[in-house]
Amino acid sequence: MKCVIVDDDPLVGWYLRRKLRERYAEEVEVRYFRHPLEALPHLRPDVDVLIMDYELPDLRGPAFLEGAVQRGIDRSRIIVLTSHDPDVVRRSIPLGHCLAIIHKQDRAQHDVLQMVMDALVKRARSKRPPPDGL
List, for residues 71-121, the tens digit of each pLDDT value: 999 999 999 999 888 788 888 887 889 999 999 888 898 899 999 999 999
Contact call for residues 116 and 92 (beta carbons, < 8 A): no
CA distance 108 to 121: 20
* Antiparallel, parallel or unpaired: β 49-53 and 2-6: parallel
| pTM flag (> 0.75) | yes
CA quadruple 16, 21, 27, 29: dihedral, nearest 10: 60
Q: Count other C-beta atoms under 10 Å from residue 22's C-beta.
A: 8
Choose the weakest-confidence range: 49-53, 109-113, 130-134: 130-134
pLDDT of 24 > 70? The answer is yes
Lowest model confidence (mean pLDDT) among 40-44, 70-74, 85-89, 128-132: 128-132
User: How much of the chain exceeds pLDDT 90, in percent?
Assistant: 63
SS3 106: coil
Query: Is it the case that residue 31 has pLDDT exceeding 80?
Result: yes
Q: Mapping DSSP to helix (H, G, I), strand (E, B) and coil, where does residue 110 land?
A: helix
Give me the domains of the chain, ranges plus CATH numbers: 2-127 (3.40.50.2300)
